Structure 1
Amino acid sequence: MEMCYEGALAMPSGFAVMEEEEMMIIEGGGAFTAKTALKWIAATILGGIVYDVLKAAAIKVGCWAALNAAAIATVVSRVVAVGILTGIAACYGAMLYKTYKSLMKKR
C-alpha cells in the first residue's frame, strides 16, 4: 500500500501538544533506577514479613489473655458456685430446723 502526501500534514482540530514528561505520566511509566526498584521490592517483602510476625504475636498474646481470663473466670465461678450452694444449703438447713422445731412444739 503506497501512501503519498503532496502537501504539509495537518493535525486534527482536537489535538493536544504534550511534552515527553507528560506522556510518561499518562502512560504510567516511571523514571526510576534498578536500585530504586530493588529497594521497593525489598521493602514490600520486609513489610510482608513484619506483618506476619506481628499477626502471629497478636494471636499468641490473644490466646494467652483468653486462657488467663478463662482461668480467672473458672476460679471466680467456683467461688460464686460455692457461695450459692452454701446459701442454698443454709436455707434448707434453716427450713428443716424451723420445721423440726414446729413439729416438736406440737407434741
Structure 2
Amino acid sequence: MLGMTPVQLRRRFQRSAYPAPRDLIITVCVGRAAALIADGMKVEAAFSSVGFRHHTNFNRQFRRCFGVLPSNYRHRLALTRDWTTGTIGAVHAQVEAAGRAGPRPCT
C-alpha cells in the first residue's frame, strides 16, 4: 500500500522525530483531543472521541506531549479566554497554538 516493506517503514520512522508509527498515531490523537478541549469540549468526551478508552492512559500521553494534564490545560485556557470576544489572552496563546498545530513528539 505504501510501496515499502514494514522494515523500510520502521527505518524511515526511526530517522524522523517519531521512533515508531505508534508514537505518531498517539501524537496525532492527543493533538486532536487538545484542539477539542480548546474548543470547549469536556476532557472525557475529547479523549473518547479520539479513540482513548481509559482516562489514565490519556492523561499520561497528554502530559508527555504537552507537559500538563488535560484538566490543567483546559483550566489555563479558561482563565485566559475573553468570553466576550472568544479570544485567548496573550499569556496562553502559545498553548492554544500548540493544541491546534499538534503536540511535540511524545517520546
Give the TM-score normalised by the residue count of structure 1: 0.24
TM-score, length basis structure 2: 0.24
- Of structures 1 and 2, the one with the larger relative CO (CA 8 A, separation 6+) is 2
Question: In terms of Rg, which structure is larger?
Answer: 1
